[in-house]
Amino acid sequence: MDPNNFILIFLLVSFNILFYKYFLVIINRFNPKLLIDDQFEKPQAFHDKPVSTAGGMGIFFSFLILCLYFFLSKQIIYYEYLSFCAFFFILGLSDDLKLNVRPKFRLITMFVILIFLVIANNFYIENTGIRLLNRFLTIDIFALFFMCLCFLFIINGSNLIDGYNGLLTIHTLIILLNLFFINLFHGNNDLAFFILSVFFIVITFLKYNFPTSSIFLGDSGSYFIGTFIAVSVIKTSIAIPSISPFYFCILLFYLFFEVFFSFIRKISIEKKSPLFPDQKHFHMLLYKMLIKKNINKLKSNYSVSLIINFTFLILTIPAILMMNNGMFCKYYSIIFFLIYLFSYKIVNEKIK
């Protein structure tokens, strides 16, 4: 890689550190309640004192600098990244600013934005690894709906698991590092560097979010990360068709299935709207189990991130070694599915 690329990464990391160190102080002096999470009664809330939700702003501004660098020096503009990430960052920021957007209206807004962006960028999945589904993808309206659905699951999955120190951030780092090496080894150097730069930007935020958390990503940050991951996976999959689509399903399994399982659980078992949060997601149940054994709330909190992400990393290794084997990845994704259900059942029983 060009040495200038590493200089840019150093500058991005430095900018992020300065942002979190000084810009947040300015925001606090201007308006102490701006971009502050003080809603302790939320089902997903862990903290018991106000915490800044401006983490996503630092990441997004660094991302804009990265896009500007690519435009000025390489004459490459990743329009998909810029358009998708900017729209969803702004949508998440509206919630961080406490504009009280209703869940149903927010979901509809997300879907409308996705329809516009997918069509505008001509951004479609061509191969799912399932023949029948591939045939349906030849139908424009179905392909559009399928793409929007994929984005919705990943973006909302990122937002869903955010809240426990380092859980989303570490999970993001595992996925991005994986995508970086895949693109690097296949000669997609520009995309590899783009992903690596965001990897280091996210690492900078992790310093303030793990093991203790002085800054949250906020909805703006979790929406941005979910969108960036979704675009990165799709671009990588299109650029390297030799890799099984099921491998990317494994890579996104936790983000996708946490939302999917929650949706089915709330509708079929609990008979309530899937749009409203509760305390029965896997990471929340795991936290309750840990805190029964360890009264220390902070240790139980960050232990959730370590357990889930370390387990995910170990389970992903066989898929990494066999990513070009479609049959293996297909059946291994079923193993992921069974492990999740078994783990959920065990943890749920232990907290009763």
Give 295 or 214, the one with higher predicted confidence. Answer: 214
pLDDT computed for residue 69 by the predictor: 86
CA 347, distance to chain mean position in Å, is: 24
Which of these, 59, 64, 84, 293, lies nearest to 199 by C-alpha position?
59
C-alpha 94/C-alpha 24 separation (Å) is 18
In this structure, what is the dihedral angle of CA atoms 340, 342, 348, 352, given to the nearest 10 degrees?
A: -170
pTM of the model: 0.92
pLDDT computed for residue 306 by the predictor: 93
Task: Report which DSSP code applies to 143.
Answer: H
Least confident of 12-26, 29-43, 92-106: 29-43
| In the block, residue with structure tokens 């999740």 | 340
Contact residues for 268 (Cβ-Cβ < 8 A; gap 6+):
none
SS3 category, 295: coil
pLDDT computed for residue 33 by the predictor: 62
Residue 307 has pLDDT above 90, yes or no: yes
Give 43 or 316, the one with higher predicted confidence. Answer: 316
pLDDT computed for residue 203 by the predictor: 93
Percent of the chain with pLDDT over 90: 40
Residue 48 has pLDDT above 60, yes or no: no
Burial of 106 (0-12, 13-18, 19+ CB in 10 A): middle
* Banded model confidence at residue 43, pLDDT cuts 50, 70, 90: very low
* Banded model confidence at residue 49, pLDDT cuts 50, 70, 90: low
Structure confidence by residue, pLDDT tens digits, 257-292? 888 888 888 888 777 777 777 788 888 889 888 888
Residue 150 has pLDDT above 50, yes or no: yes
* Banded model confidence at residue 192, pLDDT cuts 50, 70, 90: very high
Highest mean pLDDT among 30-44, 216-230, 263-277, 287-301: 216-230
